[in-house]
Structure 1
Amino acid sequence: MKRYTLVLMFLVVCPGILSAKEASDDPHNLFSKGNAFYERREYEKALEEYTKILNSDIESGPLYYDIGNAFFKMGKIGYAILAYKKAQKLITGDRDLKSNLAYAQSLTEDSALRLPPQNSLIWLIRLPFGDFNLNTVASILLASYLTLIILMVFGIMNPVFKTRASFPFYLALLLFLMTLANFSTRYYTEEALTHGITVVKESECKYEPIDKSTTYYTLKEGQEVLVLATRNGWRRVKRLDGKLAWVKKEAIEEI
């Protein structure tokens, strides 16, 4: 009788335990717990909760933003900039994010080594969609393309409609071309090129991927580079002033 009682108790209690565990692992609960730790200035515990969310293959701009804030409070400027940069891909136009990123970058020792200013044409191309992330721009591009196709089909089927719809057609064409140019330039810089952030205080960059090689220059925490290749524990990097070198893999985290 005792055996059956124990089995019955297990069947009743076990689902409750599993439900409680599932609730504790819910991303919203983890995010709330992380924020609570952050408010109590327990930044390492906050990062533990945020990391659990990332480990469940969930990403969001606000999540990376809060991760960046926690790293910044801990004095880890490199990791803070890395998180802010990841957030920027998802919430491009957020003003608080831009402000925090700019301030964190201003604290790096070699803050002058930044991305070169855009030329006037690139700036003009990106201006109308500056606050949209790449996925949103891709959606606008697809919508404008489908609108063009629909207008063309109706124009072929009905000459009267073609005459009346000439203005909407050229408007859709203009939107399509502008969005295509914006998407192309941003895809190249944000996706085709691999950017990385220096996450250690200082790292020597060598002419060759061996420890005994001559040091070419030194990267400081928070500096951004282009990652060209990774091989045998080394990364081939290009500094934003064009200088190429090899650096230890753990010194650079890809955005």
Structure 2
Amino acid sequence: MKKLIFSLLYVFIPLFVLGQQQNDIVFSQANEAYNKGDYNKSVELYKSIEKTGNASVNLYFNLANSYYKLQKIAPSIYYYEKALQLAPGNKEVLANYTFAKNMRIDKIDPLPKGFLSRLYTKLVSMFKVDTWAWLSVVFIFLFAVCFVVFYRAVSSQQRKVFFAGWTFSIVLSAFCVLVAFLTVTNKKNNRYAIIFAKEIKIQSEPNSRSEKLYTLHEGTKVKLLEAVDDWRKVKLSDGKVGWLPQKEVKAL
């Protein structure tokens, strides 16, 4: 059994390393094409890396920039969003994303949010779930250290300090676990998509014979609510809802 495992590792590890090296070469070629202004080629090369499953913030960011240079609004916004999913607070991505959003035709004013709603949104978008999990582990470790030192402390002053330390650490650890759970729940309950159609009529029901409510254009971000056959019910940030064909949007 051990021989089989080592044999498999001996085969797959070099293949993985070779694949990573190949992606690095292609990424450099794509960057070179971008710097020369050949944005169609850079898109083609970046997309070839994406197909290998080797996603990264830099890949999505550069791909979005290439589409932006080609004046392709929908894919540009789509990949800026993908980059922000991996790095929510990346200032460079956010800055370029703002320029891309300004190219959209639809100007939708979001519904005002209360303080608690804004705080919740900020918390669940601050870090990825893995980051919150690691923070929880760090605070658990600090709790263990403070707990041990507390029982070994001689003076009452030291015991007070380390008692406060382990209490604070366990509270922060629980907080991180709670936010991680809320982040996962928020991701499951809030699925978004980008409209890729140049122009699309939003219907009142999931069929083309229903009443046309309003019109949307490429690059607009919508929230996915439900699905019926090849139709998707969407909601805008201003509260409007409606149905459109699945082929006209691309889920994030």
TM range (shorter): 0.7 to 0.9
> Partner of 1:111: helix, strand, or coil?
coil
Q: Which residue matches 1:140?
A: 135
| Shift in CA distance, 190/106, structure 1 to aligned 2, threshold 3 Å | farther
Q: Percent identity?
A: 23
The residue type equivalent to 1:173 in the other structure is I
| Shift in CA distance, 142/166, structure 1 to aligned 2, threshold 3 Å | same
1:238 is matched with which residue: 228, 235, 249? 235
> Partner of 2:59: helix, strand, or coil?
helix
> Partners in 1 of 2:172 and 2:19 — Cα distance?
45
Q: For residue 40 of structure 1, report the CA deviation from its aligned partner.
A: 1.7
After superposition, what is the alpha-carbon deviation per residue over 1:160-212, rounded to whole angstroms, capped at 9, x for unaligned? 79755212212213422443454344333334311111122211111222222
Q: Which residue matches 2:114?
A: 119
| Shift in CA distance, 119/180, structure 1 to aligned 2, threshold 3 Å | farther
| Shift in CA distance, 200/145, structure 1 to aligned 2, threshold 3 Å | farther
> Partners in 2 of 1:144 and 1:24 — Cα distance?
35
In structure 2, the gaps of 5 or more residues are: 1-14
The residue type equivalent to 1:106 in the other structure is N
Q: For residue 152 of structure 1, report the CA deviation from its aligned partner.
A: 8.6
Q: For residue 231 of structure 1, report the CA deviation from its aligned partner.
A: 3.5
Kept after mapping to 2: 8 A contact 1:23/1:29: no
2:33 is matched with which residue: 32, 37, 50? 37
The residue type equivalent to 1:251 in the other structure is E
Q: Which residue matches 2:8?
A: none
| Shift in CA distance, 177/72, structure 1 to aligned 2, threshold 3 Å | same
Q: Which residue matches 1:9?
A: none
| Shift in CA distance, 185/123, structure 1 to aligned 2, threshold 3 Å | farther
> Partners in 1 of 2:204 and 2:160 — Cα distance?
65
> Partners in 1 of 2:122 and 2:96 — Cα distance?
22
The residue type equivalent to 1:27 in the other structure is N
1:199 matched to 2:196: yes
1:223 matched to 2:220: yes
Q: Mean Cα displacement is larger for which, 95-104 or 190-199?
A: 190-199
Q: For residue 75 of structure 1, report the CA deviation from its aligned partner.
A: 1.1
Give the TM-score normalised by the residue count of structure 1: 0.77
Q: Which residue matches 1:165?
A: 162
| Shift in CA distance, 110/249, structure 1 to aligned 2, threshold 3 Å | same
The residue type equivalent to 2:218 in the other structure is E
Query: Which aligned pairs between 1:1-255 and structure 2 lie closer than 5 A?
Result: 26-114=22-110, 116=111, 118-124=113-119, 132-145=127-140, 147-148=142-143, 150=144, 154=148, 165-255=162-252
> Partner of 1:49: helix, strand, or coil?
helix
Give the TM-score normalised by the residue count of structure 2: 0.78
> Partner of 2:226: helix, strand, or coil?
strand
Q: For residue 111 of structure 1, report the CA deviation from its aligned partner.
A: 2.5
> Partners in 2 of 1:232 and 1:117 — Cα distance?
33
